[in-house]
Amino acid sequence: MLPYRTISAYVEAVRAGRTTARQMVDATLAQIDAQNSRLNAYREVFTEEARAAANRIDEHMARGADPGPLAGAPISIKDNIATTLGRTSAGSKMLADYRSPFNATAVERLIDAGAIIIGKVQCDEFGMGSSGENCAFGPTRNPHDTDRVPGGSSSGAAAAVAAGLCLASIGSDTGGSVRLPASFCGVVGVKPTYGRVSRYGLVAYGSSLDCIGPITNSVADAAQLLQIMSGHDPRDSTSSTRDVFDFTKEIERPGKPMRLGVPKKARSDKNDDAVNDAFARAVDHFRASGAEIIDVDFGLADYGLATYYVLAPAEASSNLARYDGIRYGHRAEPVAGDSLEDLYARTRAEGFGEEVKRRIMLGTFVLSAGYHDAYYVKALKARRLIHDAFTEVFSRCDAMITPTASMPAFRIGERADPIRMYQCDRYTVNANIAGICAMSLPAGTIEQDGSSLPFGVQLQAPVFAEMTLLRIARQLEESQPSWAGRES
């Protein structure tokens, strides 16, 4: 493992002169070299560029200059977030060799704060997947049991953080793609409020649902990265102009006892029995930490999956129409006599994987004449009802707690049926539908088939209430470090 597990521990050490940015980068590269072949977490590693950046930071520090709040911390970036280093492939053959001429705003802000981008990590193709298996460059494996999935779509991000192949990673979340892998890999994952972090430079999947968020080994690190990435961006018209709290300082201040709502359906016969047991223990830990636990009724929970799998494919159908083999990306080899339509069809058939094709076809269907009102418009109405249901729940509690997933990490290939795979998202999609903030927090382990598998609880709070989530999670992390599995 790395000599430091968290950004905060590393930054303290580098400022105290106990280590250097170059030493940290070299240690990270050594870990990647030793483990990536079995995990397939990284798509690309920026060895020379990372060492050069570390040398520059060490030179600046030697002259007394401030290295920034991240001080050379090695951070990986999901393959669907634009970087000028390497390729931005979104896990797809369609963009296998695409090189972005610009950095995403979130990446720019991390670099300006002193981060070193150590590499790009694998993901489900265009963010469409819950397991990490839908990637043109092979599945990523869970570091806790390499026969199992790490969760998706930010599969490489969570696996890399959990295995010590970087100090943190930046993923994206359209229906649970940060939180689900965070739960399966035993790390912290935050989906901010829609608009809190700029989407500029994120390869679009579902534009009204997509969010960029951090995956880390501690709540404090998640707070710091969210602090750095947040704020209005004139290049993204959906980014919020709201002021950003100093999350890092605020989470350390004692707050009032929190009221946590537990939905009746959080303890469900659709969950693995071990998940229900682990969730009950997690609720008891929150109660012992001073939280008031109240039962709430979120009756629309079961409608979230159906709503999501109409809205997200509809937006994907529109967003992915640009990949036609003409402007950029993969192009099929021309065949004599081909029409332009033939070229489009063969390019898209070759360039997209099966799950992406499935969602494009589903989205095209629900937007088509004769079905638009029956499916898409009805899903929009359901979205409003889900939003209103959250508003009612949050009038009675500060945050809601559920399992992040109804099962621990499952074996690779075990959920080949798409409907079974979609069920993985039943607890996570509603936060994206409503645009609220949510996070997954490590909550111990589940013993299954001889493996000790991480289990995560999900906290959800109103729009722009990230401080509430982070403060609850931080208080729990402080009071129950052995249970949460957190170490410096």
Is 208 catalytic? The answer is no
Catalytic-labelled residue, pool 131, 153, 172, 268? 153
Q: What is the DSSP letter of 373?
A: I
Q: Which two tokens stand for residue 181?
A: 């892998």
239 sits in the region (left: phi over 0; alpha: psi -120 to 50; else beta) called beta
Torsion, Cα 225 230 233 236, to 10 degrees, reads 90
Note whether 78 and 69 are within 8 A (CB): no
DSSP string, 341-397: HHHHHHHHHHHS-HHHHHHHHHHHHHHSTTTIIIIIIHHHHHHHHHHHHHHHHHTT-
Pairing of strands 188-191, 211-216: antiparallel
Q: Cα(87)–Cα(105) distance, rounded to whole angstroms? A: 17
Q: What is the DSSP string of 163-186?
A: TTSSSEEEEEESSSTTHHHHHHHT
- Judge contact between 9 and 217, C-beta under 8 A: no
Q: Rounded to whole angstroms, how far apart are CA atoms 422 and 417?
A: 9
Q: Say if strands 74-78 and 259-263 run parallel, antiparallel, or are unpaired.
A: unpaired
| 78 tagged catalytic | yes
295 and 262 in contact (C-beta within 8 Å)? yes
Among residues 8, 154, 172, 177, the one annotated as catalytic is 177
Q: DSSP strand E in 82-175: where?
A: 116-121, 168-173
Report the candidate in 220, 133, 138, 144 with the shortest Cα–Cα distance to residue 182. 144
Q: Which of 78, 154, 198, 239 is catalytic?
A: 78
Q: Is 264 a catalytic residue?
A: no
81 and 172 Cβ atoms separated by less than 8 Å: yes
Q: Contact 74/166 with Cβ under 8 angstroms?
A: yes
Residues carrying an active site annotation: 78, 153, 177
